[in-house]
Structure 1
Amino acid sequence: MFPLNAVLFPGVSVPLHVFEDRYRALVHHLLRVDDPTERVFGSVGIREGYEVGDHGAQSLYRVGCKVLLTEVEAQADGSFDVVAVGLDRIELERLDTSGPFPVGHVVDRPEVPSPVGEPVLEAARATFSAYRAALAGIRADPYSGSLPRDPSYLSWTLAAVAPLPMPERQSLLEAEDAGERLILVTDLLRSELRAMNVIPSLPATEVARTRWSPN
């Protein structure tokens, strides 16, 4: 289990720099798994505390994500630069830290499939397009290419790229279905746009990080 000061989403890739002993031990453990498709770990967000140190994470969110290790680059100092991609949601029941790396006891938390109305999809796409336009000339475009057509993929994509504080990102992860998530992310982006109209020089919340460390 990798507790992070970040929220990971299904279908979204994330780079991580792994340098702390317990997480290096977990990477070594995963690399001993013969089938690369089985090199899976879990991640939950840190509600209170820090990624680094024996007493860093004081409180964890319960809903997180199952993650697949896809790329590993070992460094001379024993650390790793890795890339992982989110799979499915999980719920953490308890965390065992007695071994060489944290072990989470989890249950699956699958998303409830449900139809999403076209007005919800159109509102989400239009609001994100307006947000991208408002950012032009201020900072880099948060997303490149065309948005996914599938409602579930669209909801996870917008959740991942929206520049929101961690509690709001966690609420997007915990939304029960794609429709609920799209309505929520649309409302959050509209609030962000209203804040930018008051303070136009920067987005109201600057939380995007180009590289995350699970330490």
Structure 2
Amino acid sequence: MAREIPLFPLGSVVLPGQTVSLHVFEDRYRDLVAYLLGLPETERRFGIVSIREGYEVGDSGVQSIHRVGVEVALTDVTGYDDGQYDVTVDAIGRIRLDASVTGGSFMWGHVEDLDEPVGDGAAVAADKAHAVFDVYRTELNRFRLDASVDDLPGDPVDLSYLLASSAVLTLPDRQDLLEADDAAERLRRYHHLMIEEISAMRAVPSLPAVDVARTSWSPN
């Protein structure tokens, strides 16, 4: 069933299970945080969708956004005298944006929750993804980096998101993983991406391309 929630377009992809820290300084997003703080703690939720075209800040702003994102719960807020905020959110599940609503200072969207099916062949896909992750982590160690993962979950859905969140990927690749129909397909896509990334890391002695340090993952 569709419902209406506030939206926060972001220049990166957030995955279910991730904890994300955001610095909020633009007026429209400060208004969003102020609105959320006026709600009971259990209702302080909004959607994060990645930006397809445009920018998080500036006069031109967001031109278009992806239709699959996540709903997040506001878990921690630090306000400053100048009206800015540092906030922490937990991503609790996928949403599909059916329509965006403008007119106020910040964006709203009509969204539907997306199911998380396991999919066919999940066990085999999980084994392959687990194996390629071990190789990927070894390659990261060569650059004195770490994937920051201790124990891998047995549930294919949780595993698919944990591996996706720990990988250094471009926005389109990360969005592609988020939009996968089921966990098995996400794990297969992850395996393919990691094979390509490992080959590139071995061929070119440089660091992976993207910094994902501002996020962490938990199964909620």
TM-score, with structure 1 as normaliser: 0.91
**Aligned partner letter, 1:43:** I
| Deviation (angstroms), 1:87 | 1.3
Answering whether residue 48 of structure 2 is matched by residue 52 of structure 1, we say: no
Segment drifting more, 144-153 vs 37-46: 144-153
Q: Distance in 1 between matches of 2:68 and 2:122?
A: 26
Q: Give the 5 Å matches for 1:122-137.
A: 122-137=127-142
Q: Distance in 2 between matches of 1:197 and 1:175?
A: 28
CA contact (8 A) 1:18 1:81 kept: yes
CA contact (8 A) 2:116 2:157 kept: no
2:30 corresponds to which of 24, 31, 42? 24
Q: Distance in 2 between matches of 1:178 and 1:199?
A: 31
In the other structure, the counterpart of 2:213 is 210
1:171 corresponds to which of 170, 173, 176? 176
CA RMSD for the aligned pairs?
Answer: 1.6
CA contact (8 A) 1:116 1:151 kept: no
SS of the counterpart of 1:140?
coil
- Structure 1: give runs of 5+ residues left out of the alignment: none
CA contact (8 A) 1:17 1:211 kept: no
1:107 corresponds to which of 92, 109, 112? 112
Q: Distance in 2 between matches of 1:202 and 1:208?
A: 10
In the other structure, the counterpart of 1:152 is 157
| CA deviation profile, 1:164-212 (whole Å, cap 9, x unmatched) | 1111111100001111101100110110001111103322xx1124348
Answering whether residue 74 of structure 2 is matched by residue 66 of structure 1, we say: no
| Deviation (angstroms), 1:116 | 4.6
Q: Distance in 1 between matches of 2:122 and 2:177?
A: 18
Q: Distance in 1 between matches of 2:58 and 2:109?
A: 18
Q: Percent identity?
A: 48
Segment drifting more, 92-101 vs 125-134: 92-101
| CA deviation profile, 1:108-155 (whole Å, cap 9, x unmatched) | 222234365432211111111111101114142022311122111110
- Structure 2: give runs of 5+ residues left out of the alignment: 1-6, 216-220
Equivalenced residues, count: 209
Q: Distance in 2 between matches of 1:184 and 1:209?
A: 19
